[in-house]
Amino acid sequence: MLNENDVETVVLLSHKSPDSVINVKVEFGEGDDKISLDAIAERAKKYQPKPKITYKMIREYVEQKYGFKVHTAYIAEVKRSLGLTMYDAPNVTEELKQPRKRPPKEKVEAITEAFKYFEVI
């Protein structure tokens, strides 16, 4: 079932010969008319995907910086309140056995600061 905002695309792939060819000669190294390999490596770093930030990393950061532990449920609650993407857990249930507990203010602030540190927000 397609949604109003869904777009379906069909692409035909073929092994067609190119209409024309452009030959480019590139010299790497230092000096005029040469491309620095260090500059290429530096530019490539910008395009690397960011590492996935885990709840464990958030917990360790908060414990190291603030000296107290935070439960993963608190991290999830702060993510939810900030509108961050939540992934489906394999052990999720339809109904909660007990209502979600709001984390204390100091823990919310610590978790939020950890999200900023890891550039999640």
* DSSP alpha helix (H) spans, 1-121: 37-46, 55-66, 72-82, 105-117
Three-state DSSP state, 28: strand
Which amino acid is located at 114 in the chain? A
Q: What is the pLDDT of residues 34-48, one digit of tens each?
A: 888 888 888 888 888
Q: Which pLDDT score, from 0 to 100, does residue 91 have?
A: 75
Return the domain boundaries, the chain.
55-117
Instruction: Provide the mean pLDDT of the chain.
Output: 85
Q: What is the end-to-end Cα distance of the chain in Å, rounded? A: 33
Residues 56, 60: Cα–Cα separation, whole Å = 6
Structure confidence by residue, pLDDT tens digits, 27-81:
888 877 788 888 888 888 888 888 888 999 999 999 999 999 999 989 999 999 9
